[in-house]
């Protein structure tokens, strides 16, 4: 079994990769940060020496690069059992005062990265008549909030992509799940002053995604909403 995971060099992506590797999956991992990706792959291989792990450093916000990555995946001649579109970025701000081209940046990485990569891989998955696609959305996909700006717009768009893809892939037995995490403790929270115990752990997301992927072929969880026990910050 094979899992493709983008944004896999840290945070939720790395935790998800570790979970699938521990369960015996072979992995294809990507990240824009080549050094951090290499370090993560070394860690994963040391902990899971029976899993095959391939990596590819790529800026998925660039259409041609995302397409090139997808074609490289197809050249590996492996089944695509799991695709986790996790690559993304957060730039805070408000629509009325954020810098010019923030919306374009957010759309490129948070929406188009998943759109272009998925479109390259879909013919293979449709031919297989199986597979599971996870799109890592956000609570910001469901509710507007202060200082969310273009980030929230891009995540609303990713939700729309997920819902349309879900309908289109039903006849091909390909599952599509949109994941909506609230605050998760990653490196971006370390200097925030928020206590680690106040928000979710990356392994909460990894365990949930893996569990959903193991349901019977006739069951599809369309949406996963995870929030800290005490609610959003």
pLDDT digits (tens, 9 = 90+) for 186-224: 877 777 788 889 999 999 999 999 999 999 999 999 999
- What pLDDT does residue 125 have? 97
- What pLDDT does residue 209 have? 98
Across residues 169-187, what is the average pLDDT?
94
As given in the structure block, the two tokens for residue 226 are 């995870």
Across residues 120-126, what is the average pLDDT?
98
- What pLDDT does residue 147 have? 86
Across residues 96-114, what is the average pLDDT?
96
Is it the case that residue 173 has pLDDT exceeding 90?
yes
Longest Cα–Cα distance of the chain, Å, equals 51
Across residues 151-167, what is the average pLDDT?
98
Q: Give catalytic residues, as residue numbers.
A: 151
So where are the chain's domains?
2-226
How far apart, in whole angstroms, are the C-alpha atoms of residue 180 and residue 186?
16
Q: What is the pTM of this model?
A: 0.95
- Cβ burial of 190 (10 Å; 0-12, 13-18, 19+) is exposed
Mean pLDDT, all residues of the chain = 95
Task: Classify residue 108 by its DSSP letter.
Answer: I
- What pLDDT does residue 186 have? 85
CATH number of 2-226: 3.40.50.720
Percent residues over pLDDT 90 in the chain: 88
Strand partners, 85: 135
Is it the case that residue 233 has pLDDT exceeding 90?
no
Across residues 116-137, what is the average pLDDT?
97
How far apart, in whole angstroms, are the C-alpha atoms of residue 113 and residue 8?
14
- What pLDDT does residue 161 have? 98
Is it the case that residue 157 has pLDDT exceeding 90?
yes
Give the pLDDT confidence of 13-48 residue by residue, as tens digits: 999 999 999 999 999 999 999 999 999 999 999 998
How far apart, in whole angstroms, are the C-alpha atoms of residue 14 and residue 12?
5
Closest CA to 30 of 64, 72, 90, 63: 72
- What pLDDT does residue 35 have? 95
């Amino acid at each position: 079994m094979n899992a493709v995971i983008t944004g896999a060099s840290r945070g939720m992506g790395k935790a998800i990769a570790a979970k699938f590797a521990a369960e015996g999956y072979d992995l294809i991992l990507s990240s824009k940060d080549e050094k951090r990706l290499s370090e993560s792959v070394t860690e994963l291989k040391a902990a899971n020496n029976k899993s095959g792990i391939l990596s590819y450093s790529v800026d998925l916000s660039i259409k041609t690069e995302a397409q090139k990555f997808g074609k490289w995946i197809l050249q590996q001649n492996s089944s695509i059992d799991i695709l986790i579109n996790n690559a993304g970025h957060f730039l805070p701000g408000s629509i009325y005062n954020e810098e010019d081209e923030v919306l374009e940046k957010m759309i490129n990485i948070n929406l188009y990265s998943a759109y272009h990569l998925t479109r390259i891989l879909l013919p293979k998955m449709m031919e297989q008549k199986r597979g599971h696609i996870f799109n890592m959305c956000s609570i910001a996909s469901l509710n507007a909030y202060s200082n969310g700006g273009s980030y929230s717009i891009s995540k609303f768009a990713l939700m729309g992509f997920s819902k349309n893809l879900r309908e289109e892939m039903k006849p091909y037995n390909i599952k599509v799940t949109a994941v909506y995490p609230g605050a998760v403790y990653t490196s971006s929270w370390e200097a925030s002053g928020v206590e680690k115990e106040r928000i979710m752990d990356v392994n909460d997301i990894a365990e949930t995604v893996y569990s959903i992927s193991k349901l019977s072929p006739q069951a599809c969880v369309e949406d996963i909403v995870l929030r800290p026990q005490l609610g959003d910050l």
